[in-house]
Amino acid sequence: MIPVSLFVILSAALFATGIFGVSTKRNPIVMLMGIEVMLNSANINFIAFSRYYADGYIAQIFAMFIIVVAAAEAAIGLAIIVRLFRNFGTVNIDVFSRLRW
């Protein structure tokens, strides 16, 4: 059996990748993907942990919910990105800093 620590290391690596993606990429769609990666790293944790507890199905249900919520989040995110493109004519996030100070 694969030790749980390996899963945690994998998820931590994914999580870090996600954070890195969100905070460096200039394209909001890629940022959105970074967020999905972050959420999925949590999913990996849940699924991995679910094997070590008797009522592990709860963690699997949690993961299902996370997937659903992530989809909704992505939908709203994409909708907003579309509006941004219509109004600003670009999706480079450097432009979206009129609200500041």
Partner 1 sequence: MIEIVFPEAVISLFAFLAVFTTVFSKEDKDMPAYLSLAGIILALIYLWTLKDVSSQFFTFVFDYYAWVMKLIFLSVAFLVVLISMNYLRDYDDSVGEFYALILIATVGMMVVVSARELITLYVAFETASLSSYALAAYFRKDKMSNEAGFKYLFFGAFSSGLILYGLSLIYGLTGTTELTAISKILSIDNPLVFLALGMLIAGFGYKISAVPFHQWTPDVYQGAPTSVTAFLSAGSKAMGLAIFIQVFVIGLYSANVDWKMVIAFVAILTMTLGNIVALWQQNVKRMLAYSSIAHAGYAMIGLAALSPLGVAASLFHILTHALMKAGAFGVLAFTAFKGIGETVEDLGGLWKKAPILALAMTIFMFSLAGFPPLGGFWSKYWLFTSAVGSGLWLLALIGVINSVISVFYYARVIRAIYVIEPPKAVRIGQPVELTLAVVVCLIGVLVIGFYPQPFIEALLNAVNLILP
Partner 2 sequence: MIEYSWLIPIMPVFGFIICLIGGYRVRMGYGQVAIFFMFLSFLISLGSFLDVLAGKTYHASITWAIVGGKEIEFGVLIDSLSGIMVLVVSLLILLIHIYSMGYMVPFIRTNQLSRYFAEMQLFSVGMLGLVIADNLLLMFMFWEIVGLCSYLLIGYFYRKPEAARAAMKAFLVTRAGDVMFLIGIIVLFVYAGTFSLTELFELAPEMDLTILTFAAVMIFGGAVGKSAQFPLHVWLPDAMEGPTTVSALIHAATMVKAGVYLVARNYPLFVLSPDAMTTVAYIGGFTALFAASMALVMVDIKKVIAYSTISQLGYMFLALGAGSIFAGMFHLMNHAFFKALLFLAAGSVINACMTNDIREMGGLRKVMPVTALTMLAGSLALSGIPPFSGFFSKDEVILSAFQRGDMVLTFFGIAAAALTAFYTFRVWFMAFVGDYRGREHPKENPKIMTSVLTILAIFATITGFIKWWFEGYMHHFIETYPHEVLERAEHIGTIQPHLIPNEGLMVATVVIAATSITIAYLGYVKKVFDPASIRNPLRPIHAMLYDKYYMDYLFEEIFGGRIGLYWARATGWIDKYIVDGIVDGIGKTTMYAGGGLRRIQTGNIQIYLSIVVVGLIAILLYFEVV
Residue 53, both tokens = 């507890």
33 makes contact, choosing from partner 2, partner 1, none, with CB < 5 to 8 Å by partner type, with none
Residue 70, both tokens = 């992530």
Selected binder of partner 1 within 45, 90, 92, 94 (CB under 8 A): 45
Note whether 41 binds partner 1 by CB under 8 A: yes
Note whether 96 binds partner 1 by CB under 8 A: yes
Selected binder of partner 1 within 1, 2, 3, 76 (CB under 8 A): 76
Note whether 31 binds partner 1 by CB under 8 A: yes
- The Cα-based distances of 90 to 23, 24, 26, 62, 80 in angstroms read 19, 17, 11, 37, 13
- The Cα-based distances of 99 to 23, 24, 71, 76, 83 in angstroms read 18, 20, 28, 21, 17
Note whether 101 binds partner 1 by CB under 8 A: yes
Binding footprint of partner 2 on the chain (CB under 8 A): 19, 22-24, 31, 93-94, 96-101
